[in-house]
Amino acid sequence: MMARKPIITEIQHVHDALESTIAMLSTRSDAFITRGEFVTVTDSTQDLARAHSNDQAGLVVVAGRQTNGRGRLGRQWADTRGLGVAATFVLDAKTFNTEHLALMGALAAHHACTDCMLDASAQVGIRWPNDIVERTNQGSGCKVAGVLVEVLPTSEGKRLAYLGIGINVAHQSRDWPEELKQIAVSLHELGSGVDRAAVVRSLINRVQWACSRTLEELAADFTQGDVLKGTYQGFVHDGKVYEGEVVGIDPASAILLRTQDGGVRTLPALTTSLIKT
Ligand code: BTN
């Protein structure tokens, strides 16, 4: 009897993409990511990465589906339902401080998305500090990807950073829960025909790329993707609300805002947050 040809499922392609990208990276002496783990379903890749890191940096955990993902500021990241990419990278928190990690995550996610948008009809950019969004005439549209940085101690007193990145890939409008319908979008909805395997490959390579850039290089790169410059926004700093036109953002230091009196106010990036409208 003729042996049946194995059916290679989409999830197998995602798994293979992770393995082959790690195999390539681990031959390099400058690699920051050298171990990869794929899981079909998990609550949060952040927790799995912590449990499986062996207290060592260099691991990336990718989930086929994530059911209880965490977002920034105590929010939830919706169940990826096998349509998105959820990945956590374990990095050394001594090498990269939290601001550096947040910027690395933003640029890695931004480039991973733009790498995958070649055949797309839309463009994506970065909404400070690290949301990846569709670019619109008003600046920023629906969110395509998000970044979460968590820094935690190991049992030996070291500190490891867990850089979590979620990218919406293959969702269609019917796939979004009601509360996300107006604020979330996937690469497919933006016209890209990319598959999750390609997104995983690109994301890992882009995190490696971001790890090898200085804070200044990343900050300069950020300005290319910045969707807020030239738009009217509100920010909170020190309990006070500031509104005006964003003149520029240096993610490593300050937000420059032209206020109604015509003056330019400098808000420290570290302690300011954007009011989303
Ligand atoms: C945000 O925009 O609020 C951040 C979203 C971060 C989601 C990713 S998905 C992979 C990793 N695991 C999580 O539980 N969260 C991050």
What local confidence, expressed as pLDDT, does residue 263 receive?
94
7-225 is a CATH 3.40.30.10 domain:
no
Mutate to test the pocket of ligand 1, among 37, 44, 68, 70 (most ligand atoms within 8 A of CB): 70
Q: Which of 172, 176, 177, 183 is nearest to 140 (CA)?
A: 183
Is 130's C-beta closer than 6 angstroms to any atom of ligand 1?
Answer: no
For residue 146, the ligand 1 atom closest to its alpha carbon is 2
Give me the sheet containing 139-153, strands edge to edge.
Answer: 35-42, 59-66, 84-92, 159-168, 139-153, 131-136, 124-127
Query: What digits encode the pLDDT tens for the residues 190-220?
Result: 999 999 999 999 999 999 999 999 999 999 9
> Judging by beta carbons within 10 Å of its beta carbon (0-12, 13-18, 19+), is residue 151 exposed, middle or buried?
middle
For residue 165, the ligand 1 atom closest to its alpha carbon is 8
Top CATH class of 232-275 equals mainly beta
Say how many Å lie between the CA of residue 263 and the centre of ligand 1: 37
What local confidence, expressed as pLDDT, does residue 5 receive?
58
What local confidence, expressed as pLDDT, does residue 1 receive?
58
What local confidence, expressed as pLDDT, does residue 139 receive?
79
Q: What residue spans define the domains of the chain?
A: 7-225, 232-275
CA distance 134 to 54: 37
Is 105's C-beta closer than 6 angstroms to any atom of ligand 1?
Answer: no
* Regions of the chain short of the pLDDT cut 50: none
pTM: 0.94
